[in-house]
Chain A
């Protein structure tokens, strides 16, 4: 029989390290707790040494990485809390519950900080829905987010949907949550005060989700061969998936915020991955106090659960609070009103002589000691691996990320291998799909904050307001972004371009980017080339964030993502939050108004490397340095963001500085705006045309490479005042080119593209229902 620690996911070396930390052999309960706490998912043991390279400071940052969520000051004694997480493997095994509990977990991370959760975003990556299994996964994931998110009362205001065969058996389900808090309600997960009570709030503890972090999230995934290999593997892992109850969570949100408002808790921590093992050890370790936990006091769903099961269960909708004994009666009163269970399951106790913040698990108060470990050895002292990094061979010519010279297509090797093969109409029809089928299943309007909902603009725009914080004219813009094609070819530059795009997206709604969280979805860290991707990606993110002054306030790493024995394309996801200081009208949205002029801001590099259009004509996945990605001039990009933020910001209510330069403009300078990214100018224009059911005639785009290039730092603007806007842009150092005019019912781009707007609308709208509605009939 295999050794116990191996079955639990610990290596022989890790087991030896446990013995060294304890000075003895661990018993079964202790071993179970170490195995979950030292899992990749909880300990970040493969990524931690790299994550420190990310910049995490700015004058606005109140809480950086390492806590349950990052917290950023937005003025007027108000702060926002943001975090993003993955729930990839649970969703592969059980899509509905996997996605639902992903939303539940991230929401708890936010209200743990004292913030009311007010928005979710869901970046999703699956295989193409033409394959029935992918359609089943995607449909289940969407229904899980809809079923949980809508009911728990947190609107889903944005996200992404990306298809690639590399996600066939391993969909990526990332969930971002934003909360708002009065600064004085900010709490940290640090236990204190000898004699204080450890109170478990919410759901009873059951057998669901045992070993979720170690068995599911931190092991090689999807590499079993055979026709039904994955199906049987999935079925066997299904008990490791948690089951969500959004109604319990809704009451838990209200109870936790009420307790915090009444100053009845010293510290609070949510229970997620690794359950009580994680929450107790982290609270004790961060607060440097000793804690006793009494198993007999933990409400159970099944009477015969073993101590390891109780301590590692990932039953959802639970919180752990530290409460002064005198306050417990008041805590109970609030919890009873809101129908939330509150049980005293332990105490903060005097520490031992060595002050090791001893965590002891007892059968009952005064009962037998079943486990006795220094809390920090669980929470903080997992081994950190500097895993082998294998750069791809041959390395090829690496690009400089930041170039002091201005962008010029002929300075860089271009990739137009495919341009002669691409048929414009055909490529557009293959790439274009309307995600409204997905987001119309999500409540995206709750709290009456949503100024721009999903699909309306380049970023979601929300009033900065909650039931207990009045709107004062400020708004937040949110965008989540990823570019796996680019990151596969050059993870460093690809990730930098992803950050750049996300920042530009929020700028297009008039917001200044103020913070970023990331979810790093990669393959197996034991593969040197995956570690190379991860390390490069972190460097690219770090450089881009430093250049753009955007602090990284939190993140999540999901490793071991693979399908059919192959690692996924490197998929770092970033979510950028922007702040609009003053808003009194809606920002310009994606669309076209007839009789106006279209202007391209920024310059196109005629380079199809890594583009979605080129990918259509390739048989294999993009590989490292297969071609040279378009260049990113960060100085220019920063200038563009500044210009767009001011241009749009002044129009919707901000300082009118930029408009002072423009006597005689009656009405809005920018009628519509859209960034150029996936699918290049072609898809950007299609999306604008479809939104308004209005055509355009484009004369300023002359080549297929121009049309489908995804080179960064470009936006398309629809305006009544082309001369004024062009002159203004050029005065700010932004190249501006009139590319065509709007009107009619056709989108015509020289001899490159000729499409009926109604036709592409219909086809793009039908794409998802064609494959997803089938599953309803199964």
Chain B
């Protein structure tokens, strides 16, 4: 069996089918995997999709990191496998320590669902390899807790290694340096708050998310 992309589903996750549909639309093989599984099977890449894993109770991602599948996700990431976390998935990645910093409540304390402008800062990640640094993308955001925060040291580390792969063109939620997405140093683990799968189908308006998903699909081959 050819290795395929696995989309991790926790109870409360709700974007799993959207990611699956759009990955399929772009020609990739993908399937859902339940959070209680402890074996990834034949896996070429992992998506942690958006939603409210475990109801976001306690703190978004705080309970999800303890699901059995997460041990395997961490192993896969540490061996260099491509992993992306979208929205709630980004929150899970910071909670489990694969990415630094945290996502706190939007500075105006309200949920925000709208399309915003983002700039690709580097093509050095599995999510942005097919994009060009400086490229502007119109992407939908949909979160109550997307305000990226980190300590000074981490910020310095992100800057020095050019790890803020995606930033907003204006302040949308209070994120430090308008960060919309970051990667680890190796570039194989990326978390972002915008939803590229919501900007893939031409009938829905923007197709700017395609370049991100295509990058990930390419990295997952």
**Chain B 1-37 per-residue mask, 1 if CB under 8 angstroms from chain A, else 0:** 0000000000110110110011000000000001010
Contact status B17-A251, CB under 8 Å: no
Bound-state CA distance A337–B34 (Å) is 9
Residues of B within 8 A of A248 (CB): 55
Q: Is the CB of A250 closer than 8 A to any CB of chain B?
A: yes
Contact status B14-A250, CB under 8 Å: yes
Residues of A within 8 A of B201 (CB): 448
Contact status A448-B11, CB under 8 Å: no
What is the distance, in angstroms, from A167's C-beta to the closest C-beta of chain B? Answer: 23
What is the distance, in angstroms, from B117's C-beta to the closest C-beta of chain A? Answer: 15
Given contact pairs A441-B110, A448-B204, A153 touches B51 in the complex (Cβ within 8 A): yes
Contact status B113-A445, CB under 8 Å: yes
Contact status A247-B111, CB under 8 Å: no
Contact status A450-B204, CB under 8 Å: yes
Q: Is the CB of B138 closer than 8 A to any CB of chain A?
A: no
Contact status A151-B56, CB under 8 Å: yes
What is the distance, in angstroms, from A50's C-beta to the closest C-beta of chain B? Answer: 39
Residues of B within 8 A of A463 (CB): 203
Contact status B142-A247, CB under 8 Å: no
What is the distance, in angstroms, from B66's C-beta to the closest C-beta of chain A? Answer: 14
Bound-state CA distance A776–B55 (Å) is 23
Residues of B within 8 A of A446 (CB): 14-15, 18, 142
Residues of B within 8 A of A128 (CB): none
The chain B residue sitting closest to A149, CB to CB, is B111
The A-B contact count (CB < 8 A) is: 89
Partner of A440, one of B21, B55, B113, B200: B113
Contact status B12-A583, CB under 8 Å: no
Contact status A448-B55, CB under 8 Å: no
Count of chain B residues with a beta carbon within 8 Å of a chain A beta carbon: 34
Q: Is the CB of B157 closer than 8 A to any CB of chain A?
A: no
Q: Is the CB of B59 closer than 8 A to any CB of chain A?
A: no
Residues of B within 8 A of A586 (CB): 203, 205
Contact status B140-A247, CB under 8 Å: no
Residues of B within 8 A of A451 (CB): 203-204
Contact status A150-B11, CB under 8 Å: no
Q: Is the CB of A585 closer than 8 A to any CB of chain B?
A: yes
Contact status B113-A448, CB under 8 Å: no
Bound-state CA distance A565–B111 (Å) is 36
Bound-state CA distance A146–B140 (Å) is 17
Bound-state CA distance A102–B135 (Å) is 43
Q: Is the CB of B185 closer than 8 A to any CB of chain A?
A: no
Bound-state CA distance A247–B204 (Å) is 28
Residues of A within 8 A of B56 (CB): 151, 247
What is the distance, in angstroms, from B20's C-beta to the closest C-beta of chain A? Answer: 8
Q: Is the CB of B114 closer than 8 A to any CB of chain A?
A: yes
Contact status A153-B14, CB under 8 Å: yes
**Chain A 209-253 per-residue mask, 1 if CB under 8 angstroms from chain B, else 0:** 000000000000000000000000000000000000111101100
**Chain A 563-602 per-residue mask, 1 if CB under 8 angstroms from chain B, else 0:** 0000000000000000000011110000000000000000
Residues of B within 8 A of A436 (CB): 114
The chain A residue sitting closest to B113, CB to CB, is A443
Residues of A within 8 A of B203 (CB): 451, 463, 583-586
Given contact pairs A146-B111, A441-B110, A247 touches B198 in the complex (Cβ within 8 A): no
Q: Is the CB of A339 closer than 8 A to any CB of chain B?
A: yes
Given contact pairs A151-B52, A440-B114, A250 touches B205 in the complex (Cβ within 8 A): no
Bound-state CA distance A338–B113 (Å) is 28
**Chain B 84-111 per-residue mask, 1 if CB under 8 angstroms from chain A, else 0:** 0000000000000000000000001111
Residues of A within 8 A of B11 (CB): 247, 250-251, 254, 338-339
Q: Is the CB of B197 closer than 8 A to any CB of chain A?
A: yes
Contact status B12-A441, CB under 8 Å: no
Residues of B within 8 A of A146 (CB): 110-111, 144
Q: Is the CB of A444 closer than 8 A to any CB of chain B?
A: yes
Residues of B within 8 A of A442 (CB): 111, 113
Bound-state CA distance A444–B198 (Å) is 11
Residues of B within 8 A of A776 (CB): 108-109
Residues of B within 8 A of A143 (CB): 110
Contact status B140-A445, CB under 8 Å: yes
Bound-state CA distance A446–B109 (Å) is 21
Q: Is the CB of B112 closer than 8 A to any CB of chain A?
A: yes
Bound-state CA distance A153–B114 (Å) is 16
Residues of B within 8 A of A20 (CB): none
Contact status A447-B144, CB under 8 Å: no
Given contact pairs A251-B11, A448-B21, A441 touches B113 in the complex (Cβ within 8 A): yes
Bound-state CA distance A266–B140 (Å) is 41
Interface core residue of A151, A246, A337 (most chain B CB under 10 Å): A151
Residues of B within 8 A of A59 (CB): none
Bound-state CA distance A443–B142 (Å) is 6
**Chain B 199-221 per-residue mask, 1 if CB under 8 angstroms from chain A, else 0:** 01101110000000000000000
**Chain A 143-168 per-residue mask, 1 if CB under 8 angstroms from chain B, else 0:** 10011001101000000000000000
The chain A residue sitting closest to B16, CB to CB, is A467
The chain B residue sitting closest to A454, CB to CB, is B113
Q: Is the CB of A773 closer than 8 A to any CB of chain B?
A: yes
Bound-state CA distance A583–B109 (Å) is 38
What is the distance, in angstroms, from B163's C-beta to the closest C-beta of chain A? Answer: 28
Contact status B198-A445, CB under 8 Å: yes
Question: Of residues 118 to 160 in A, which have CB atoms within 8 Å of B's CB atoms?
Answer: 143, 146-147, 150-151, 153
Closest 3 CB pairs of A and B: A247-B55, A153-B14, A467-B17
18 extra interface residue pairs, beta carbon distance < 8 Å, beyond A146-B110, A247-B11, A440-B113: A146-B144, A150-B52, A150-B144, A153-B14, A245-B55, A247-B54, A251-B12, A337-B34, A338-B11, A440-B112, A445-B195, A446-B14, A448-B21, A448-B22, A448-B198, A463-B203, A467-B17, A776-B109
Mark B residues whose CB is within 8 Å of A.
Answer: 11-12, 14-15, 17-18, 21-22, 34, 36, 51-52, 54-57, 108-114, 140, 142, 144, 195, 197-198, 200-201, 203-205
Cross-chain pairs A/B with CB under 8 angstroms, 19 sampled: A150-B113, A150-B144, A245-B55, A251-B11, A337-B36, A339-B11, A439-B113, A441-B110, A442-B113, A445-B198, A447-B18, A448-B22, A448-B197, A448-B201, A448-B204, A467-B21, A584-B203, A776-B108, A776-B109
